[in-house]
A = this chain, B = another copy of it.
Amino acid sequence: MSVGVRKQQAAQTGAELKAAGVRAFARLGYLNTKIIDITAEAGRAAGSFYTHYPNKEALLEALLADVLAEGDAGAASAGHRDDFRDRAAVRWHVAQYWDFYRHHRVVMVALQQAATVSEPFAERMRQMIEPDVHHIAGHLAKLDDLPGDPVTVARMVTTLMGTFIAAADEDESAIDTLTDFIYNGIGGRA
């Protein structure tokens, strides 16, 4: 076994297909992307795809696994304040979301598209968002002047962050606008 050149190259092709998938999704949208779009983008033959993934959904799953793995790595990052009466604590959470969505934008949008068409992916998406909702709800529960039930408000906050960030362009000043809006919205400025 001479270092396993074969396995190595196969793994690399698999990774190249993932990268090509991301580029194709970015260009055409997940739902409009055909298998040949991905293989062409990777400079490979159509049939090659199936050596690595049984179908397009599996490629998206693989990309999602990468995203989550990376997310876990940075999860315990410093700076986490949990008193939402402190604007800085709110801003920190908004910025986290912002960075995550910016970084994984294409895969997140692809997941959203897959979810509109496939119940399993819709379920997958809910499972990804739910922990965040409850994390935020936990912080909110400590506030006095909340406009409603903590979980409902948390859902509003994550919804707002998710869709607004997806639609916004690179302009980072939106982080502060979002922060202020949310900070006021949850009654921080009492």
Contacts and interface: CB of A to CB of B under 8 A. Distances in A.
Nearest to A119: B29
A147 interface: yes
A149 B173 CA distance: 10
Contact of A113 (B116, B159, B163): B116
Interface stretch (A8-16, A42-50, A59-67, A182-190): A182-190
Contact of A184 (B116, B177, B185): B185
Interface of A: 29, 31-32, 112-113, 116-117, 147-149, 152-153, 155-156, 159-160, 163-164, 167, 173-174, 176-182, 184-187, 189
Majority secondary structure of chain A interface residues (helix, strand, loop or mixed): helix
24 contacts: A29-B117, A31-B117, A32-B117, A112-B116, A116-B116, A147-B177, A147-B179, A147-B180, A147-B181, A147-B184, A148-B177, A148-B180, A148-B181, A149-B177, A155-B164, A156-B181, A159-B163, A159-B167, A160-B160, A160-B163, A160-B164, A181-B186, A184-B184, A184-B189
A189 B164 CA distance: 23
Given A153-B177, A159-B164, 10 more contacts: A31-B116, A31-B117, A147-B179, A149-B177, A155-B164, A156-B164, A159-B163, A163-B163, A184-B186, A185-B185
A79 to B, nearest CB: 22
Nearest to A188: B184
